[in-house]
Amino acid sequence: MNTLTILKSVPGRKAGIAIVLSSALLTACATTPASPDGSEDVRAKLTELQQNPDMASNARVELRNAEAAVRLAEQPGSSDQALVAHRVYMADRMVEIARAKGQARLLEAQREQLGEQRDAARLAARTREADQAHADATSARRSQDEASARSTREAEELQRQIDTLEAKATERGLVLTLGDVLFATGSAEIQGGTNQNLEKLVDFLKQYPDRQVLIEGHTDNVGSAAFNQTLSRQRAESVRRFLVDRGIDGRRLQVSGFGFERPVANNATSMGRQQNRRVEVVIENGE
């Protein structure tokens, strides 16, 4: 049913009112402006950018300019189609400029953030290296102090042992002299009750198992050279057997007999001859 039919079916005053309303409706429909072609697409693109937090924060000015351009492009009523198309084109360009600016600033911000993270990582690495170097230096100093203290204790203990042995420090090593009271006259057998110094020697050699030992027998000049040579070596061998029997490795012990070739006193006196009748135990210096 068209409008004319509706009007004919309404009598009197009501028909007049209906005519007026119909005329207004027709006028409104005839005058409602249509959006220019392409403006809706531009508006959709702009809305997408405006709803993107990254774009909204990095392209505020450009988005405001784009908004103004889109509104201008959306204005209807111009009979100049070229002008309308130009406005839509410019609005689209402004939206794209806003997008490009936002993306560029976002990438720059991300680059700066990555740079800051890289710098922070480098700083953290240098800090770790410095901390590790400090820890290593502290550990090295502690180790050095401990080694120094240990060396001091070992030196003090060695000196105590030397004092106990009543040994003499020489270039050859520690020299312990066992006098002739260890043996009976003309004998190579160790006498009982005279082994205290030998027991101390055993304790020392067990405490320092890396040290090699020279056992050297000596006599005075009473008797033949051959007899004294044999006697001096036999006495040195007796000392070696004593040490081996007490658990000292025989491979550490080297034996020599020098007879009366190396006197330490004048054989012309009884006191001098007594000093020459001896066994010297040379404990070589450690490595």
The pTM for the full model equals 0.51
DSSP 180: G
The predicted pLDDT at position 25 comes to 45
In the numeric block, the tokens 């006098």 are attached to 179
pLDDT for 186 equals: 81
Could you tell me if 221 and 228 are in contact, meaning their C-beta atoms sit under 8 angstroms apart?
yes
Residue 190's pLDDT is what? 84
- pLDDT < 70 stretches in the chain: 1-33, 77-78, 165, 193-194, 287
So what's the pLDDT on residue 193? 63
pLDDT at 14: 54
pLDDT at 41 (0 to 100): 93
Cα gap 191→7, rounded to integer Å: 159
The pLDDT assigned to 1 comes to 47
Say how far apart CA 232 and CA 241 lie, in whole Å. Answer: 14
